[in-house]
Amino acid sequence: MVYLTAIKICGLSREEDIDIVNQLLPEYIGFIFTKSRREIREEVAKQLKKRLHPSIKTVGVFVNEDMERIVRICQAQVCDLVQLHGNEDHNYIHQLRNQIPQKIIKAIRVKDKRDIQNSLDMDCDYLLYDSHSHYANGGSGTSFDWSLVEGVRKPFFLAGGIHKDNVLEAIRRCNPYGIDVSSGVETDGYKDPEKIREFIGKIRSVIK
């Protein structure tokens, strides 16, 4: 079955995380290759990728990363897509495109409408709109004003403070290509199988 709203569970780092998504089959999962409590080492990501159901695409998340490292990880077939979550500009994205075949997601930290407008000509395959934080490049667990992205036509993921109690409202208002969740399906900093099951089940019970 093809679902209208893709689901991305980000920040997986353990075998048990892979086992639960293999049961529930979200379209995407994320490996975070940057300083974070969810950071994963390359060798661990390689092993988890081998364990992952082949229908699920892996997204490598990078923040202002040395391009050679991204290329190396992509060449090792660890990532099916690359997510740039820092201050990467048009020139950086253009250079990266010339070196990898993987599709690129560019994350935008949203403060106001100008951030949305400035993102629309980014040379990426998907945008990802996340809440702005002065202290982190993402993963703040807070939402932003969703009305700012209403009407955006370029395919985008919606992130930031999404959980089971607001995800259907987020989809209804914003009509995103995909929903990105991390802390919203965690307990005590770890992915919670029951929260993942409930989150995915809630979306797929009504959005088909």
Contact 138, 130 (CB under 8 A): yes
With H, G, I as helix, E, B as strand and everything else as coil, classify residue 57.
Answer: strand
Domain boundaries, the chain: 6-206
| Size of the chain in residues | 208
Catalytic residues: 10, 130
Handedness of CA 49, 178, 144, 83 (dihedral sign): positive
Ramachandran angles phi, psi of 63, nearest 5°:
-130, 110
pLDDT tens for the chain, 208 residues long, are 556 899 999 999 999 999 999 999 999 999 999 998 999 999 999 999 999 999 999 999 999 999 999 999 999 999 999 999 999 999 999 999 999 999 999 999 999 999 999 999 999 999 999 997 655 555 556 789 999 998 899 999 999 999 999 999 999 999 999 999 999 999 999 999 999 999 999 999 875 5
pLDDT of residue 140: 56
Ramachandran angles phi, psi of 19, nearest 5°:
-60, -40
**pTM (2 d.p.):** 0.93
Fold of domain 6-206: TIM Barrel (3.20.20)
